[in-house]
Structure formats: structure tokens, C-alpha cells
Chain A
Amino acid sequence: GQNIDQPTEMTATEGAIVQINCTYQTSGFNGLFWYQQHAGEAPTFLSYNVLDGLEEKGRFSSFLSRSKGYSYLLLKELQMKDSASYLCAVGNQAGTALIFGKGTTLSVSS
């Protein structure tokens, strides 16, 4: 079966660091993606990991451990505009579809 788990909600304050975890059990694996989705808007691509380790991109970093079926998205120097849903997704074996978790709603307060 396919299962992707991430926390439903998280809260943090401006300027802080937050880590959003994602665990997955899928029949195939073709990379792990993180998307950001503001309410009522399209998901926008944040990061992609296919090899183990940390990928850093500005304030956002993403980590992958394939042996543990685990990823996290790290957001530094949080800003109010970072309040959004963060979607973890795994590429299926054929690379023809993304399998999404239910998303983590992050609320950033001042």
C-alpha cells in the first residue's frame, strides 16, 4: 500500500525555525518532493530529494533518509508569509504520478 504521514498542524513564531516531518511507505520510490500551498492557491514546488542527505535552498532545507522512509522540511527565519500548507509527496515507481500526504498546515504568529 501507499502511506505518507505528516503532522496535521504546526504553529511557530516569526523568526523561529520549524521542522516538518514526513514518513512514507510506498511500493516504489522516485524521489521526494515538498510543495507549499497557500489557501485557495496552486501548490508551488519547494524542493526535491532523491539521494540521502540535506538539500539547502535559501531559508528552506529538505532532508531525506531512504532507509528510514523519512524526510523533513526545515524552514528558518520564519516569516508571516510562510503560513501555508506544506505537502510531502513521493514520486511513484514509473515517475508518472506523485503520491501526496494530507499536508501540514503551518501557522506563523508574530
Chain B
Amino acid sequence: GAGVSQSPSNKVTEKGKDVELRCDPISGHTALYWYRQSLGQGLEFLIYFQGNSAPDKSGLPSDRFSAERTGGSVSTLTIQRTQQEDSAVYLCASSSGVGTGRTQYFGPGTRLTVL
């Protein structure tokens, strides 16, 4: 596609429910990243995919968070038993590879609100 797309753009859920957030990277980009942006905070790295594998999951805040990528393309971030502190904008980015100078291109994000 022309750019990174994410769905839904907004998600409101109740505490304790599970949510799935979707990311479609730029066509041909092998690297995919998830970040979250909480109010007043900088973007916080969550997980990185190269192809379908995730060699860096160091940013996932708890075992309630998981992500997968299939076909080297679409990725889904799942949050189980959501908590109010999970409320944030979840941003996905992709790049043509990994390493020095690889620019990450961001999607518009999914705004998650946990009531």
C-alpha cells in the first residue's frame, strides 16, 4: 500500500475485555514495529518483527500483551484483560530493513480507551 494503515482508528472497551489492533505495513517492508504513546509521554517501543519472527519483544509491558505477524505482512497486537493504564495511542511502523539509518514510517495509530 501507499502507507502504513491501522485499524480501528478508535477503540473503546471495558476493563477486563480483550482487544485486537491491526497493522498493514508498507508493501515490501520486512521490518515492523509497535509503539505506544501515552498522554504526556514519548513513544514507547513495544515489539519488533523481522519477517514473521519477533527477535525483540523487550518493550511489551506485561504478559497480557502479545503480537503476531503472518505472511510477512499484517500484524496484530492483542491486549488481554485490558486495564485503564492500557489507554494510549498504539502506533505501528515499518521499514525496508533493519540497522543503521533505516527510516521507520508510521501509521496513524489506534486510540485505545479503556473504561
Contacts and interface: CB of A to CB of B under 8 A. Distances in A.
Given A91-B100, A96-B98, A102-B41, A44 B106 contact: yes
| Interface size of A as a range | 20 to 34
Nearest to A103: B42
Contacts of B98: 94-96
A96 B55 contact: yes
A45 B56 CA distance: 23
Contacts of B101: 31, 48, 50
Nearest to B55: A96
Interface string B32-55: 010100001111110010000001
Given A42-B109, A43-B91, A43-B106, A30 B43 contact: no
A98 interface: yes
B25 interface: no
Contacts of A95: 98-100, 102
Contact of A99 (B4, B45, B105): B45
Contacts, number: 61
Interface in B85-115: 91, 98-109
A94 B104 CA distance: 14
Interface residues of B, number: 27
B42 A97 contact: no
A45 B43 CA distance: 14
Contacts of A96: 48, 55-56, 98
Given A97-B56, A98-B43, A103-B42, A42 B103 contact: no
B61 interface: no
Nearest to B56: A96
Nearest to B50: A96
Contacts of B44: 100
B52 to A, nearest CB: 15
Interface of B: 4, 33, 35, 40-45, 48, 55-56, 58-59, 91, 98-109
